[in-house]
Amino acid sequence: MVGGVLVPPTCCGCGRVGHVLCADCRAQLRPAVPLVSPPGVDEAFALLSYEGVAATAIQGAKFRHHREVLTLFADALGRLVAGRLGAELAGSGNAAVTWVPALAANRRRRGVDQGELIAARVAAVLGLPRRCLLRRTDGHSQLGLDRATRLAGPAIAGCAPAPTTVVLIDDVRTTGSSLRTGAMALRCGGAERIVAATLAVTPDPKRLPGVYHPSTNPPCHGTKGDPVADPSECTPYLSSRP
Ligand SMILES: [Zn+2]
């Protein structure tokens, strides 16, 4: 609402007025490519391939405050995880959702930590508490760094004792190093089972340095917790239309 006047939403993919993400743009979304879990992560889930409309929408949420689409994707990610692990997580009795923290400078500039927003929605869908368990101990972004530095991952440390089971949220997975370093910190804090959940994964990991890929890593098809591989597995989670 601006100046007391309701402003209709515009599609974050094409700019058309009417929906946060119009039907044409939704039809262009692609499911996440299958990737193995990063070291230290027991199971990994991802919703979308980070390309086209999905990349535009997530970048828009990060840099232009188009948060509604983030809610749409995060709820869908929550339903994806709930569909696979909901009963297990609900029955664990000692589980929580946390997130890979953003750099303090980025959080201040954007006014919010995007990972925390996603974690809040996923936690609500799963019926689990959202807990701040990690903190960044570095002061620079991973963007533009060389291969070795990116593979080393951001510096992340625990900031609270971790529950037995943790769902670790990140917005986009590229090398998997953020999830790996986050998982290491959570295990140091007492976590025994770590499930990673990301909105999107980079679609062609072979072009990027240090990314785990089915062609060079153990196949992950058919095992519990695989990322979405079949497009038909992606669309049901995006059925709601805000
Ligand atoms: Zn559109």
d(CA 15, CA 2): 18
- Distance (angstroms) between ligand 1 centre and the Cα of 183 equals 36
Phi, psi torsion values for 129, nearest 5 degrees: -75, 145
Which pLDDT tens digit goes with each residue over 152-204? 678 899 999 999 999 999 999 988 999 999 999 999 999 999 999 999 998 86
- Distance (angstroms) between ligand 1 centre and the Cα of 18 equals 9
- Distance (angstroms) between ligand 1 centre and the Cα of 58 equals 14
DSSP class per residue in 29-62:
--BPPP-PPPTT-SEEEEEEESSHHHHHHHHHHH
- Distance (angstroms) between ligand 1 centre and the Cα of 21 equals 5
Position 241 pLDDT exceeds 60: no
- Distance (angstroms) between ligand 1 centre and the Cα of 27 equals 9
Which pLDDT tens digit goes with each residue over 65-116? 678 899 999 999 999 999 999 889 988 889 999 999 988 888 888 788 899 9
- Distance (angstroms) between ligand 1 centre and the Cα of 126 equals 29
Mean pLDDT of 223-230: 37
Does this model's pTM top 0.75? My answer is yes
Closest CA to 195 of 217, 163, 222: 163
**Is CATH 3.40.50.2020 the right assignment for the domain spanning 30-238?**
yes
- Distance (angstroms) between ligand 1 centre and the Cα of 54 equals 11
